[in-house]
Structure 1
């Protein structure tokens, strides 16, 4: 998110009134909310009430989610402008507050309602050993929220069978397949989201089930070899005299 300072008079779409400061915005605000899209530009301009005395008491400050925005000196008196350009997903829910530096109780705020789709529309190759578990994850964070469905080979999964487990916290949707079997679970899975704003979007997982590999227990094997070697060496040392006698007789 980039916040740049606008020092020239801008074409404004809406005026929302406050007690002593007024926040003007483009695009038009609905109450204290501005609905916009990612990659768009939002312009905010704060002006002091004309009835106030012209003095340094009219110096303005901008805050974004409680953090002070750095303004040039010429953009603080009577009229102060900000540009949010470009708008990003991280700007959703951001609250911009304009207030008098000399009286923080004189303020006005605008909240951004940024609409954005889920980040999907790609394909992922997944390889899993038979009898292992596999977890498929997709990013479903969106505004407005989306509904999520899981499919296998273009057919809706029967999530009541107990063969699959799903979770969705509004940010990530996951499908867990426990104890994978090649003849049952290998195939193409789809995480499909539906939205009244963005329509249908999906992410595809091509799941390949491989033969289970018997893992060689390297650690225990090395330890066993070391024990055997040490035992042999100790046996040789303890019987060295007998070995020397046998060698002389031969």
Structure 2
């Protein structure tokens, strides 16, 4: 059953008398979602039973709902959800990266039906054979990796453009700004060097303590 995300659905189940089953409980119904029983009010179990799915979400895609007779599970009816939904896109992000560093641009492309993905730079289809670009797409995330960025090559506006047979074209835009590389002071080695110097001075002072005391002691 095809259904769009965010709508509300009411499932109805009816049963008539079944031969060979005790009339006292032959009309009691049960609902299951992917094999897990759904709790129902007492008055919603006899002869006819309804189930409300509100709202339908992405997680309901592929879910199987079964209504069955409690006294005979072979008497049942089932329905499987085919939930259609678009990817979560149509936004803009600013990305700052230092020159010669790596950066990854990522789009959530999870959708039903699946979408096709194309990467563009400054409005043109990106030439993946140049510029140290690598693309991956596992059906959930589409990524564009840029290694050793250069301002004159990689700075610009990138678009992750997806095309859905149901929802049309949409995408995410990245404004990539390549900044000058910051020379970082090597804090670790510097601290270690200072500690060594201080220890050397302290040991020297201790070894010459008596002479120093004599020098500063008043006559």
Whether the TM-score (by the shorter chain) exceeds 0.5 is yes
- TM-score where L is the length of structure 2: 0.92
Task: Quote the residue 1:43 is aligned against.
Answer: 10
Deviation by residue 1:60-114 (Cα, 9 ceiling, x = unmatched): 1111112111100011111111111221112111111112222333322110111
Q: Matches of 2:133 and 2:180 in 1, distance apart?
A: 21
CA 247–63 in structure 1, closer or farther in 2 if over 3 Å, else same:
same
Give the equivalent residue in structure 2 for 1:138.
Answer: 107
Partner of 2:85: 116
2-structure distance, mates of 1:85, 1:248: 90
Per the TM alignment, residue 161 of structure 1 is displaced from its structure 2 partner at its CA by: 3.1
Q: Distance in 1 between matches of 2:118 and 2:143?
A: 11
What is the SS of the residue equivalent to 2:52? strand
* Residues 131 and 154 in structure 2, CA contact (< 8 A), matched pair in contact too: no
The secondary structure found in structure 2 opposite 1:56 is: coil
Alignment of 1:56-205 (within 5 A): 56-161=25-130, 163-205=132-174
Deviating 4+ runs (over 3 angstroms): 49-54, 244-250
Could you tell me how far apart the structure 2 residues matched to 1:246 and 1:75 are?
101
1:220 lines up with 2:189 in the alignment: yes
TM-score of the two chains, using structure 1 as the length reference: 0.81
- Indicate the RMSD between aligned Cα atoms, in angstroms: 1.8
Per-residue CA deviation, residues 221-248 of structure 1 (Å, 9 max, x unaligned), is 1122111111101101101223344456
Conserved in 1, the CA contact under 8 Å of 2:101 and 2:147? yes
Structure 1 stretch 192-201 or stretch 102-111: which is displaced more?
A: 102-111
Q: Deviations over 1:144-200 (max 9, x none)?
A: 100000000001011233620011111110000011001100000000001121111
Give the alignment of 1:26-37 within 5 angstroms: 34-37=1-4
Alignment partner of 2:175 out of 206, 211, 214: 206
Q: Does the aligned pair in 1 maintain the 2:17–2:27 contact within 8 Å?
A: no
- Secondary structure of 2:184's aligned partner: coil
- CA distance in 1 between partners of 2:4 and 2:10 (Å): 13
Residue of structure 2 in register with 1:242 after alignment:
211
Query: What per-residue deviation string (whole Å, max 9, x for no partner) do you get for residues 113-164 of structure 1?
Result: 1111111100001001111100000111111100000000001011233620
Structure 1 gap ranges (5+): 1-33
